[in-house]
Structure 1
Amino acid sequence: MITRDARAFLEAARGCAPDFGPATAKAAFLVSPDGFARADESASDNRYMADAAGFDAALAGAQHRGLQAALSSVLPTLCFAGNPDAPDGLFPNNAFATVPGRLVVGRMRHPVRRREAARDDIRGFFRDVLGYAEVDLSGQPHPCELTGALVIDRARGLGFCGLSERCDEEGARQMHEAFGLRATLLFDLAPGEYHTNVVLAVLAGRAALVCPGGFADPAAVEAIAGLYAPHVAMLSQAEHAAFAGNAISASPGTAWMSAGAASALSAASRAMLDNACFSLRPVPLDAIEAAGGSLRCCVAEIY
């Protein structure tokens, strides 16, 4: 099922057992922020991005190394070299994603980002080292920026796809098929939002962080809340702006977000994470956030 009907989706999703696959990844990879700089093409539809003077390449590199070290405490975390000609490459989850035994390559909206999807080293790693088959969506015309646009409940096989200039309906359909999902809910993002994973995080299939202001359709918010209740945090505008919605579970009992996001969390949001048995793991990433993304954007999961 792939639908805009939030009620129909919720009815179907409630019948999906958490037996689709592992709720969290077995490993992850990052891409180093080599040549860290503002990409003007990406800035045209990413309101979170700082101006050029706000980019500190040295600090971004140090914080990125700290992120890899931190994540490595709970799962194997690789890091590929960056490419200065692809300044957004430190956010690889938009171009590369996996299901067990299969690599999916996305189609990026902006030409500067399409360079990432063409990387032979990353494709070769999955093909020749891990033996993964490849589903290549990068050559077709419909934008589909993978787990930036599509938030996935891996335990149940459910997708939540926010439509914007970074993902259209046909791109969403192709991702739904590439990931083999049971059901995907389509909804429009609010004006000014570029990726779903900035306004929604599904943590290990059992909790959700939701930024209601990032959705154009309140029915989608209600459906998500209904599916994950009582383990749902409705994030305030301040939490939203601090990237608290850009979080990930790198292991079943951990919730990872930037230190800035964690400091913005309300007492109610923290209580939800505690009640859902998640240990909050903040990582300093303010320099990286100048590029318009945060912790979850940096992490490409390997299933």
Structure 2
Amino acid sequence: MITRDLQAFFAFAAICAPDAPACAKAVFMVSPEGFCLAEQSATDNRYMQMSAMVDAASAHAEHRALQAVIRRCLPVICFPGDSETPDAVFPNNVFALTPEHLILGHMRHPVRQREAARDDIRRFFTETLGRTLADLGSQPGICELTGSMVIDRSRGIGFCGLSERCDETGARAMHAAFGLRATLMFDLAEGEYHTNVVLSILAGRAAVIAPCGFRDSRVPEAIAGFYGGTAIQLSPAQKADFAGNCIALSGQDVFLSARAAASLDPGQLAMLDASGFILHAVPMPTLELAGGSLRCCVGEIY
């Protein structure tokens, strides 16, 4: 099922048993060689700080620290960056894994389309890990993978926000490529570019939601209702601090930037604790200048 119908989607989702791994078994990342603020990306990413000066050494230090923190939880593979692809530090928008496939996204901007052409990353996942290639760049719809599609892997359901970075054709292509049981399509609020800035599903049992990031307020209300007492709702200021751009990499370990963690209030922290989660906060002030945060830096290997 792929639909905009809230009632139909959640009725179907309610019978989707959590019968698959909720979290990745390893992650991949791309180091920030050539890291800078890409002008093309800034045209539809209001979180970018184009007036800021970027210090390459700081970006590398933050990225190494992030790798080290995640390695305490599960294995990390890090590919070298490339000065021709300044946004490559956010690989989850371009590459995604299922147990069977390597999925390549159809990126909106040419500066990001170059990332999908990297032969070394393709060959690692297809030849070394034996995944079959699903290249969505060859179909007409724009779809920036787990930037646009937030997935509850345990249930096989997806939440796909439509924007300049993902259209309905692209959403349908991702639904098929990820092999999802059901996908809910909805419009993001004006000015939002990726769903994973306004929504995260944590280990299939909790949701972090910024209602202001959705065009129709009924959508975040329905998502919060589905996850019940484990749905944490963010203010606009917390969304701007990337609190929605978090990720669970085990049943108890949630990773987010130090800026995002500092924005959470005591009640929200208590909800996460009551849900059995431990927060790992990593300083990323330089990397966040490029308009993404911790979740965007992490590609998941299933």
Q: Which category describes the TM-score, using the shorter chain as reference length?
A: over 0.9
Equivalent in the alignment of 2:120: 121
Query: Does residue 12 in structure 1 map to residue 12 in structure 2?
Result: yes
The equivalent residue for 1:174 is 173
* d(CA) in 2 for partners of 1:291, 1:174: 27
2:145 is aligned with 1:165: no
Q: 96-105 or 144-153, which moves further after superposition?
A: 96-105
Say if 2:35 and 2:56, in contact at 8 Å, map to a contact too: yes
Instruction: Name 1:231's counterpart in structure 2.
Output: 230
The 3-state SS of whatever aligns with 2:229 is coil
Q: State the match for 2:151 in structure 1.
A: 152
3-state SS in 2 of match to 1:167: coil
SS of equivalent to 2:120: helix
Report the counterpart of residue 59 of structure 2 in structure 1. 60
- Do structure 1's residue 2 and structure 2's residue 2 form an aligned pair? yes
> What residue in structure 1 maps to residue 280 of structure 2?
281
Q: Could you tell me how far 1:53 is from its partner in structure 2?
A: 3.1
- Alpha-carbon distance in structure 1 between the residues aligned to 2:58 and 2:42: 21
Q: Give the TM-score, by structure 1 length.
A: 0.98
The alignment partner of 1:290 has SS state of helix
8 A Cα contact 1:24 1:249, kept in partner: yes
Residues 119-165 of structure 1 show CA distances to partners (whole Å, capped at 9, x for unaligned) of 10110001111111111111222110000000000000010000000
Secondary structure of residue in 1 paired with 2:159: strand
Kindly indicate whether the alpha-carbon contact (under 8 Å) linking 1:38 and 1:52 is maintained by their aligned counterparts in 2: no
What amino acid sits opposite 1:270 in the alignment? Answer: L
SS of equivalent residue, structure 1 residue 260: helix
Give unpaired runs (5+ residues) of structure 1: none
- C-alpha displacement of 1:101: 2.3
Distance 1:253 1:54 in 2: 36
The 8 Å contact of residues 55 and 291 in structure 1, kept in 2 or not, is answered as no
- Give the superposed CA RMSD: 0.8
Q: Deviations over 1:245-268 (max 9, x none)?
A: 000001110111000000000112
What's 1:28 paired with?
A: 27
1:51 alignment partner in structure 2? 50
- 8 Å Cα contact 1:96-1:146 kept in structure 2: yes
Cα displacement string for residues 201-250 of structure 1 (whole angstroms, at most 9, x for unaligned residues): 00000000000000001121111111111101010112111000000001
| Matched AA of 1:119 | R
TM-score, reference length from structure 2: 0.99
Between the aligned partners of 1:140 and 1:174, the Cα distance in structure 2 is: 8
Count residues with an aligned counterpart. Answer: 302
Give the letter aligned to residue 26 of structure 1. K
Deviation at 1:52, TM superposition (A): 4.6
Distance in 1 separating the partners of 2:192 and 2:55: 24
Contact 2:140-2:169 at 8 Å conserved across structures: no
SS at the partner of 1:187? strand
Q: Could you tell me how far 1:110 is from its partner in structure 2? A: 0.3
| Pair 1:75-2:74 in alignment | yes
Deviations 1:94-127 (CA, angstroms, capped at 9, x unpaired)? 0000111211110000000000000101100011
- In structure 2, the gaps of 5 or more residues are none
CA–CA distance in structure 1, aligned partners of residues 254 and 2 of structure 2 = 28
Does the CA-based 8 Å contact 2:52-2:289 persist in structure 1? Answer: no
State the percentage of identical aligned residues.
60
Contact preservation (8 Å) 1:233, 1:268? no
Counterpart of 1:247, as a letter, is C
